[in-house]
Amino acid sequence: MHLGETLLVLGALVIFSVSALYLNDAKFDNGMKLMETEFRITAVGIAQSFIEEAQVMEYDEVLITSAYNVLPDDFTAIASLGAEAGESYPNFNDIDDFNGFIQNIPTPRADYNVNIRVSYADTANLSPGYVNPAFFKIMSVTVKSDFFQDSLMCDYLFSFH
């Protein structure tokens, strides 16, 4: 074997080695992305389960004991949004009982931290944080896990009907 052939073989080995390293790195990165996607899908499912649970509840506490001919001023005051005295999850009876709700949900693959906020929505632009009781409430469910960097947030708009 001549010097030129030896250099060609060495060059081919270097190219093959570098290609193998990049391929291995790409496979590892792809595996990490797939796992993160799995954890995010589970987080979406957790958020949706709380939203679906709230969908079957009354819009406001006042509607449990009175007729449906109420005005927004009759709804729960902003400072009182949250579970009433003696109420605890899973025995909530209206949507705003979830305000301030925090729970850790362990699964076989990961732990998820759930934080829920409920606020009135501005009737003009449906943005959260409206300062007066209104015919719209927004539930914001935030789910975090150590297995994805940021948090996942799902918002749902409830309307009084």
User: For the chain, what are the domain ranges?
Assistant: 3-159
- Express each pLDDT in 61-105 by its tens digit: 888 877 667 788 889 899 999 998 889 998 999 999 999 999 999
Residue 81, φ and ψ in degrees, nearest 5: -60, 135
Q: What CA–CA distance (Å, rounded) separates 92 from 131?
A: 23
Contact partners, residue 85, CB within 8 Å, separation at least 6: none
Residue 57 is classified by DSSP as S
Q: pLDDT tens per residue, the chain (161 residues)? A: 677 788 878 887 888 777 777 777 777 677 778 888 899 999 999 999 999 999 999 999 888 877 667 788 889 899 999 998 889 998 999 999 999 999 999 999 899 999 999 999 987 888 887 888 999 999 999 999 998 889 999 999 999 87
Name the H helices within the chain.
3-55, 62-65
Q: Could you tell me the end-to-end alpha-carbon distance of the chain, in angstroms, rounded to an integer?
A: 87
Q: Please report where in the chains the tokens 């799902």 appear, as a residue.
A: 154
> Are residues 139 and 130 in contact, defined by beta-carbon separation less than 8 angstroms?
no
Q: What CA–CA distance (Å, rounded) separates 23 from 27?
A: 6
> Are residues 43 and 145 in contact, defined by beta-carbon separation less than 8 angstroms?
yes
Q: What CA–CA distance (Å, rounded) separates 99 from 139?
A: 8
Classify the C-alpha dihedral 20-26-27-29 as positive or negative: positive
Structure tokens at 152: 């996942």
